[in-house]
Amino acid sequence: MNAVISSLDRNYRLCDTRITDSEIILYITSTLEKLCCPYCETMTGRVHSYHTREIQDLPISDRKTILIVTTRKMKCINPECRHSTFAERHPFVNPNAQKTNRLIERILKTSSEMSSVCSSRLLKNENIIIGKSSICTLLKKNTSDRR
Ligand SMILES: [Zn+2]
């Protein structure tokens, strides 16, 4: 499982694993002590609070795979910065997304070759759970990003 996490990003480590008949749940956390404020680019190690994000990743051994990612809310130490806090960003997922970038790539690749109804069904067989309408939204977003 450590290899799965290092292939995601080398600055993350696996804290715990839970395996059921249908799911693999990996608890991961960043090893970086300091993060860069996205607004003023000052490095800070002051943590305001912690929460977790639940993010679906590529299936492992045909099981639906969920990452539980520790996410920090950091305090910016720059008194001139207009933002006192900021949320930790993870390089493998967009700020508000619930799926990793590599999972989204897989979904887009599958759905580029068939209808969203078929791809939703096919992906479900691979234990990638996504509805037909979410596929349509992803496809639309991806087309507009490329323009
Ligand atoms: Zn700042």
Q: How confident is the model at residue 61, as a pLDDT? A: 86
The reply to whether 107 and 75 lie within a common domain is no
For residue 4, the tally of other CB atoms under 10 A from its CB is: 17
The reply to whether 73 and 27 lie within a common domain is yes
Summarize the confidence of residues 127-137 as an average pLDDT. 90
Model confidence at 141, pLDDT cuts 50, 70, 90, reads confident
Task: Name the domain count of the chain.
Answer: 2
Summarize the confidence of residues 33-52 as an average pLDDT. 97
Judged against a pLDDT cut of 70, whether residue 36 lies above it is answered with yes
Q: How confident is the model at residue 87, as a pLDDT? A: 96
The reply to whether 92 and 28 lie within a common domain is yes
The reply to whether 34 and 48 lie within a common domain is yes
Summarize the confidence of residues 15-44 as an average pLDDT. 96
The reply to whether 46 and 113 lie within a common domain is no
* pTM of the predicted structure, to 2 decimals: 0.86
- Span from the CA of 47 to the centroid of ligand 1 (angstroms): 13
Q: How confident is the model at residue 113, as a pLDDT? A: 85
Q: How confident is the model at residue 43, as a pLDDT? A: 97
Model confidence at 145, pLDDT cuts 50, 70, 90, reads low
The reply to whether 42 and 7 lie within a common domain is yes
The reply to whether 89 and 131 lie within a common domain is no
Judged against a pLDDT cut of 90, whether residue 2 lies above it is answered with no
pLDDT in tens, 50-75: 999 999 999 998 899 999 999 999 99
Domain that holds residue 141: 101-147
Q: How confident is the model at residue 3, as a pLDDT? A: 83
DSSP code for 91: T
What does the angle CA 64 – CA 66 – CA 11 come to, to the nearest 5 degrees?
130
- Span from the CA of 87 to the centroid of ligand 1 (angstroms): 11
**Average per-residue pLDDT in the chain?**
92
The residue among 68 and 131 whose pLDDT is bigger is 68
- Span from the CA of 72 to the centroid of ligand 1 (angstroms): 15
- Span from the CA of 35 to the centroid of ligand 1 (angstroms): 10
Q: Where are the alpha helices (DSSP H) in the chain?
A: 2-8, 101-111, 116-125, 132-146
The reply to whether 68 and 134 lie within a common domain is no
Q: How confident is the model at residue 68, as a pLDDT? A: 98
Q: Around ion ligand 1, which residues have CB less than 5 A away? A: 37, 39-40, 76, 78, 81
The reply to whether 92 and 115 lie within a common domain is no
Q: How far apart are CA 130 and CA 132, in angstroms?
A: 7
Residues 6+ apart with CB under 8 A from 146: none
